[in-house]
Amino acid sequence: MAALNLKSSLRTRKNYDEFEFGFCQWVQTEVDAVDIESALAIGLEKLFSYARCGNVAGTIVPLSAPWGVFGYVKNGEIQQKFRVFLVIVPQVTNPPQPTDPTVEIVTAPPVWFYGRAFDTKVDEQQMEEHLFQLMKDLEQDNQSFDSTYFIMDIFTIDGLMGMGFEKTGESRFSGRFCCSSEHETVRYA
């Protein structure tokens, strides 16, 4: 759902939220698996290996909740390809590169999502039902979102998790992101 540094909540809708994930870094790996739980098992093992000295510096890299997956949806079905991620704590400003070529470090600007949180443990079937219900609710409310992929972020093994879809239809930076060139400052609105 997402990942990452939840910066602010814009508004609560009838049963989902519109929120911004703030700037953050995470480590991720792409995994082919039959389902989300299998993808997490395979991917997290690789990411924990990175954090336990599996990097060019040979050091421990501190990671933090949430962990989770980016998954893909096609023709109303979750595809068997996932990007599993773990957040790098914000105090690590220059994480060492992974030694495993299938693991990469990602730095992302703030991004807006529509999402829903749960605080009970659910099985694979229930995860999918919740995900597709969120998609249906967004469509019924005529929300503009990217329905080709989703984020599922997990905060505890006891079931605290969220899922969401990226908001589209306006600037991804909602007027908060500025960048400078030699000649001018550009504000994305």
d(CA 122, CA 166) in angstroms, rounded, equals 23
Strands (E), the chain: 5-12, 17-22, 24-32, 63-74, 77-88, 103-108, 111-118, 149-154, 161-166, 178-180, 185-187
What pLDDT score does 81 carry?
Answer: 96
For 34-55, the pLDDT digits (tens) are 999 999 999 999 999 999 999 9
Using the predicted structure, report yes or no on whether residue 173 has a pLDDT greater than 70. no
Q: How far is CA 157 from CA 28, 46, 53, 120, 147, in A?
A: 19, 18, 24, 10, 27
Using the predicted structure, report yes or no on whether residue 15 has a pLDDT greater than 50. yes
For 71-122, the pLDDT digits (tens) are 999 999 999 999 999 999 989 999 999 999 999 999 888 888 999 988 888 8
CB distance 128 to 37 below 8 Å: no
Using the predicted structure, report yes or no on whether residue 28 has a pLDDT greater than 90. yes
What pLDDT score does 174 carry?
Answer: 37
Residue 97's contacts (CB-CB under 8 Å, 6 or more residues apart) are: 55, 56, 105
More confident residue, 184 or 87: 87
What pLDDT score does 11 carry?
Answer: 65
